[in-house]
A and B are shown apart, each in its own frame.
Chain A
Amino acid sequence: MPQLPIPASPPIAWYLILSVILFALGVAGFLFRRNIITVFMSIELMLNAVNLSFVTFSYKLRQVDGHIFSFFVMVVAAAEAAVGLAIILTVFKNRQTLEIDEVSSLKN
């Protein structure tokens, strides 16, 4: 059977492009979705895009630092999720809604 010209591993740039795409998807989700939980998940997607680029750069630079940074990001994201979900829960208890447009009582 003829060998397909597939490289042993995809070039580094592909991972970086993927991370940019994931980040852009996160930004789009944050801006255009109206459900608070979905908006929050979009932020998590952005953070995961950051992690992907940290790990890729770390591999490219042959350093271990980037891997460690991605752990820091995960820890902080976990803390943020704990606080964020608690805040979302109190909002839901007070207003019985998760639509972001309906949470807008503060104005002049």
Chain B
Amino acid sequence: MDSSLFPTSAEYFRILPEMILTVVATLIMFLEAILKDWQKRVFAPIALAGLTAALVAAIAANGSQGTAFHDMLVIDGFATFFRVLVIAVGMLAVFASTEYLKREAHPGGEFYALVLFCVTGQCVMATANELIMIFIGLEISSIASYILAGYLRDDARNNEAALKYFLLGSFATAFLLFGVAWIYGYTGSTNLMEIRRQLETPGGPSVLITGTAAALMFVGFAFKISAAPFQVWAPDVYQGAPAPVSGFLSVGPKAAAFAILLRTYLTAFAPISRQWVPVLWICALATMIVGNFAAIQQSNIKRLLAYSSIAHAGYVLVAVTANSEIGSAAAMFYLAAYAFTNFGAFAVVTHVARKGERYTKVEDFAGLAQKQPAMAAMLTIFLLSLIGVPLTGGFFGKFYIFKAALDSHLVWLTVLGLLNSAVAAYYYLRILVVMYMKDPEPSEALPPAGPALQIAVYGSAIATLVLGIFPSFVLDFASKAALK
């Protein structure tokens, strides 16, 4: 038998993070069945150890770049960037959830196992070099996240969030797959590089058919990144799901979905960029407008953050529309800054919502600055970063995105995008005003945040500030790793 059929050890080394995550997640599920209730505290440390090991493996694998498993996966700087990002988000999610699960009296290993499986899927998405691997990574991540969204199965809000996420998510996947099938049929391959070669060949596959297939795939991606007009699920899901899960879903799967969107469109579909750039232009603008103008009217903070996350997907889409190397680097930097910022905001919401998540109105934040100044200060950092104020990661993120857009001569999109971020400042500042200027209403006492939740909040805040004050390290890496 041909020995080259077997993967080399270097190839196994390149997918070590995914292997570690899968093994640890499976181990947790075994232990869940064996351990007694009082022993179940070990799950969070085990999950964290697994994520840390995967993080180290992902960084180490960057030293041995190349493809694996017959070009199905590719480990390059781009993949490493997103693998490290989604694993870091997974760690924050574990910290924030430990506290949450204890509070809701619903401890369980399967929660951590699902988070790990979800991160595994996102790592596969980050490294996928082939349409079928993209699909499989997306589904590993999605199926785990459907369950996470409805984790408290006796809670009607959780059920509804899970149902909507599941139905619309599978609907989107079917579109993606139909696009994949037609791309495969007309180019004879699912490998991204091979598709590009086919599309570049004069007299190659019909642009009409491949363009339609690419559009079908975009429908699938647009659902996952919650881009307009496919964003309708996001507010309901983020409002209904447990707060730490909403935080996780609004950053991890979204970053990974953007990774595959960037990789597919900037490599495989680069030859037909004249066809898809106008579509993305409209989509980016619509997403920013829908997100920001709907967010203004929200009184529930989880729903407000959901619409704000739609708007942020719009900003990243501007960078994708730029269809350039700097655009790709800007999108990567923005996703990193947005991930820590948005997760941090949801972590503070987790804390303020208290048991049973009864306090999720914007008014419930009244007087937070007097009751718990530290938490209020952290939320201030996150909100300022979401606005894009200097010294926070969000500022440089927006700056690089609009710079990339201008370099690609997208003047109107830049102007409209900047106007949009001015509108966005209104609803973020409203929360700040409530927090600092309004007196607390007499309500249930807010217990101090536990240590794990504090780690999640402070960790996110530190990352947000580091990206805002010393952006060069991450930006240099992103520029080197950007797709050409």
| Chain A: CB-nearest residue to B184 | A57
A103:B181 contact, CB within 8 angstroms: no
Question: Using Cβ atoms and an 8 Å threshold, which residues of chain B touch A46?
Answer: 171, 174-175, 178
- Which among A26, A86, A94 is the interface contact of B174 at CB below 8 angstroms? A26
Surface stretch bound by A, among B14-22, B31-39, B94-102, B154-162? B154-162
B240 within 8 A of A: yes
B136:A108 contact, CB within 8 angstroms: no
A87:B184 contact, CB within 8 angstroms: no
Question: Using Cβ atoms and an 8 Å threshold, which residues of chain A touch B184?
Answer: 54, 57, 65-66, 69
How far is B188's CA from A108's CA once the two chains are assembled, in angstroms? 48
Question: Using Cβ atoms and an 8 Å threshold, which residues of chain B touch A25?
Answer: none
B106 within 8 A of A: no
Q: A91-108, CB under 8 A of B: which get 1 and which 0?
A: 100110000000111101
- Which among A26, A36, A79, A108 is the interface contact of B139 at CB below 8 angstroms? A79
B178:A49 contact, CB within 8 angstroms: yes
- Which among A16, A72, A83, A95 is the interface contact of B166 at CB below 8 angstroms? A83
Smallest beta-carbon distance B239→chain A, Å: 5
A47:B177 contact, CB within 8 angstroms: yes
Asked, given contacts A57-B185, A76-B135, A80-B139, whether A105 binds B163 with beta carbons under 8 Å apart, the answer is no
Q: A45-82, CB under 8 A of B: which get 1 and which 0?
A: 01101100110110011010110010011001001100
B163:A53 contact, CB within 8 angstroms: no
B399 within 8 A of A: no
How far is B150's CA from A104's CA once the two chains are assembled, in angstroms? 15
- Which among A36, A43, A87 is the interface contact of B150 at CB below 8 angstroms? A87
Surface stretch bound by A, among B293-301, B378-386, B446-454? B293-301
Question: Using Cβ atoms and an 8 Å threshold, which residues of chain A touch B240?
Answer: 106
B163:A36 contact, CB within 8 angstroms: yes
A106:B157 contact, CB within 8 angstroms: yes
A84:B298 contact, CB within 8 angstroms: no
Question: Using Cβ atoms and an 8 Å threshold, which residues of chain A touch B153?
Answer: 90
- Which among B143, B146, B161, B180 is the interface contact of A106 at CB below 8 angstroms? B161
B215 within 8 A of A: no
Question: Using Cβ atoms and an 8 Å threshold, which residues of chain B touch A65?
Answer: 184, 190
| Chain A: CB-nearest residue to B299 | A108
How far is B159's CA from A41's CA once the two chains are assembled, in angstroms? 19
B136:A83 contact, CB within 8 angstroms: no
B436 within 8 A of A: no
A88 within 8 A of B: yes
Beta-carbon contacts under 8 Å, B129-181 to A = 132, 135-136, 139, 143, 146-147, 150, 153-154, 156-157, 159-164, 166-167, 170-171, 173-175, 177-178, 180-181
Question: Using Cβ atoms and an 8 Å threshold, which residues of chain B touch A57?
Answer: 181-182, 184-185
Question: Using Cβ atoms and an 8 Å threshold, which residues of chain B touch A72?
Answer: 132, 135-136
- Which among A49, A50, A94 is the interface contact of B159 at CB below 8 angstroms? A94
Of A26, A56, A94, chain B has the most CB atoms within 10 Å of the CB of A94
Question: Using Cβ atoms and an 8 Å threshold, which residues of chain A touch B143?
Answer: 76, 79-80, 83
Asked, given contacts A43-B171, A69-B132, A87-B162, whether A106 binds B236 with beta carbons under 8 Å apart, the answer is yes
How far is B450's CA from A66's CA once the two chains are assembled, in angstroms? 52
Question: Using Cβ atoms and an 8 Å threshold, which residues of chain B touch A43?
Answer: 167, 170-171, 174
Of A50, A61, A87, A94, chain B has the most CB atoms within 10 Å of the CB of A87
B136:A54 contact, CB within 8 angstroms: no
B174:A47 contact, CB within 8 angstroms: yes
A30:B188 contact, CB within 8 angstroms: no
Question: Using Cβ atoms and an 8 Å threshold, which residues of chain A touch B224?
Answer: none
How far is B167's CA from A39's CA once the two chains are assembled, in angstroms? 8
Asked, given contacts A50-B174, A108-B298, whether A60 binds B163 with beta carbons under 8 Å apart, the answer is no
How far is B184's CA from A65's CA once the two chains are assembled, in angstroms? 10
A61:B300 contact, CB within 8 angstroms: no
B303 within 8 A of A: yes
Asked, given contacts A40-B167, A49-B178, A94-B154, whether A83 binds B146 with beta carbons under 8 Å apart, the answer is yes
Question: Using Cβ atoms and an 8 Å threshold, which residues of chain B touch A63?
Answer: 188
Question: Using Cβ atoms and an 8 Å threshold, which residues of chain A touch B297?
Answer: 108
A105:B166 contact, CB within 8 angstroms: no
B303:A108 contact, CB within 8 angstroms: yes
Beta-carbon contacts under 8 Å, B260-311 to A = 297-300, 303
| Chain B: CB-nearest residue to A85 | B166
Asked, given contacts A57-B181, A61-B188, whether A105 binds B150 with beta carbons under 8 Å apart, the answer is no
10 tightest Cβ-Cβ pairs between the two chains A and B: A57-B185, A46-B174, A53-B181, A50-B177, A106-B236, A91-B159, A90-B153, A76-B139, A87-B162, A43-B170
Ordered by A's residue number, 19 sampled pairs between the chains whose C-beta atoms are within 8 Å are A43-B170, A43-B174, A53-B178, A54-B181, A61-B185, A69-B180, A76-B139, A80-B170, A83-B147, A83-B166, A84-B146, A84-B167, A87-B146, A87-B159, A90-B153, A91-B163, A94-B154, A103-B164, A108-B299
B residues adjacent to A (C-beta < 8 A): 132, 135-136, 139, 143, 146-147, 150, 153-154, 156-157, 159-164, 166-167, 170-171, 173-175, 177-178, 180-182, 184-185, 188, 190, 235-236, 239-240, 297-300, 303
Known: A83-B147, A84-B146, A103-B159. 19 other contacts (CB 8 A): A23-B178, A26-B174, A46-B171, A50-B174, A50-B180, A57-B184, A61-B188, A63-B188, A80-B143, A80-B173, A87-B159, A88-B163, A94-B154, A94-B159, A103-B160, A103-B164, A105-B157, A106-B239, A106-B240
